[in-house]
Amino acid sequence: MSLSQSLMSFDLTFECPHCQLVLTKTGSWFRVVASYECEGCRRKIRITYPDKVALFNNHAHLAASLAGT
């Protein structure tokens, strides 16, 4: 499954699996990043391709609402 091009400019949110701090970045940022340092717990968080697919699927309603306008 590929990552939706229509979500590249939308802000998506990802929750740290350790401290649950929410990170908000654009879809294009999530598309290219492999890991980041959580500002809450200071751990290195890997974002795998399956994580990205789930993230984009969870935000698919944003692209659908744009298409409906």
Using alpha carbons, select from 21, 9, 17 the residue that is nearest to residue 54.
17
On whether the CB atoms of residues 42 and 61 are closer than 8 A, the answer is no
Model confidence pLDDT, tens digit, residues 7-63 = 999 999 999 999 999 999 999 999 999 999 999 999 999 999 999 999 999 998 887
Q: Determine the Cα–Cα distance for residues 69 and 61; give it in Å rounded to an integer.
A: 13
CB 8 within 8 A of CB 31: yes
- Provide the pLDDT for residue 61: 85
What are phi and psi for residue 34, nearest 5 degrees? -105, -25
Percentage helix, strand, coil for the chain under 3-state DSSP, each rounded to 5: 40, 25, 40
pLDDT at 66 over 70: no
